[in-house]
Amino acid sequence: MLVNFRDLKSRVSSCISGDCRGEFFLYGEETFFFDLFLTDLNSFAQCQDYNVGTLFGDDVDIDTIIAQSCQVPMFSNKQVVIVRGAQNCVSLNDKRKHEFIRDCVSRINNSVILVFIYSKDLPTNSVILKMFEKAVVFHSTKLTKSQVAVFIREYCGECGVNIEDAAISLLYDYLGNDLYKVTNTINGFEKQSLITYDLLLKNIEYSKPFSSFDLLDALANNNKTIVRNILGKLNDVNDIFQVVSLLYSFFSKLLIAKTSDKLPTTDFMLMKYRKAEKNYTIEGIKCAIMKLKCIDECFKGIGTSLIPEKYSLKTIIANVVL
């Protein structure tokens, strides 16, 4: 059964406190949620004084895992068996043993909680997933920008700290979707009641010539002076490429908002897009998107001969938004 992270924590809590067995299979590329889950699991297990054993896929085969899971807990009602790096367990990936594994896992008694941490992505039709079709399954994927924004706000809420939208954007610009670094940075402000843009900027080594929040805010308000100042600071080709990506994302979402009113509500820039709807026409938005596609082709070396040498990419970008 595929569940989200909140349900995953709820289910393992029920298994720890109740009289039910539990098999958990966590897989995917975002290991942050694996570590968070295991921290909670160990905490729950210690409170109940359960036996906890950790095995590593590099060092064991599936027979050892099954044998460990079938042992009677010593001086405890339950035992927790955690298999980390399960993707490195050779026998788990051996097709000849899949039926055997499925059968053994299904017969583990109620005194055991068995957790596989498979730090690798799998296709939805994977035979490995089918082996654990009766287990609680959690797929941990890398978060998108809007998902990171939601994560930051929720994490700050759990820490009892408020955070400005501008600070969220700056934090994403600075750290991307590295949730370990994001949470460590937020933890550094645990004594603050509010994380502001200025406070965050003073405490991090932010070296980029612009903030995406400032650029998008200026675009939404059609503030050409600020947009011009930001573009004037661009010198590195990577910064220019990032601006092109931001502009394309902005105008694409704005076109959705203009034509279908289906802009994702999870986007923390929602109010900015609503304001931008009043400042741009559909024709102007489509024209901007078309020009940005041409600029993207320039980056890829397509059609550069059509652009006069006296025009730099920075000048062309300016013509899109000014």
Q: Is 118 helix (H, G, I), strand (E, B) or coil?
A: strand
Strand (E) or helix (H) holding 84: strand 79-84
Q: Is 177 exposed, middle or buried (0-12, 13-18, 19+ CB in 10 A)?
A: middle
Give me the DSSP letters along 161-180: -EE-HHHHHHHHHHHTT-HH
pLDDT at 308 (0 to 100): 44
User: Structure pTM?
Assistant: 0.72
Any idea which residue has 């397509």 for tokens?
302
Q: Choose the CATH number for 2-140 among 3.10.20.30, 3.40.50.300, 3.40.50.150, 3.40.50.620.
A: 3.40.50.300
Class of the domain covering 145-203: mainly alpha
Distance of alpha carbon 114 from alpha carbon 102, whole angstroms = 13
Helix pair 32-47, 5-17: axis angle to 10 deg:
20
CA dist 82 → 35, 54, 150, 237, 254 (Å) = 12, 5, 30, 46, 46
pLDDT values of the chain reduced to their tens digit, one per residue, 322 residues: 676 777 777 777 777 666 555 788 999 999 999 998 898 888 888 877 788 889 998 888 888 888 888 777 777 778 888 999 988 887 777 777 777 777 777 777 778 888 999 999 999 888 888 888 888 899 999 998 888 988 999 899 988 999 988 889 888 888 889 999 999 999 988 888 999 988 888 887 666 667 777 888 888 888 888 888 887 777 666 777 778 888 888 888 888 888 776 665 555 667 778 888 888 888 888 888 888 887 777 766 665 544 444 345 566 666 666 5
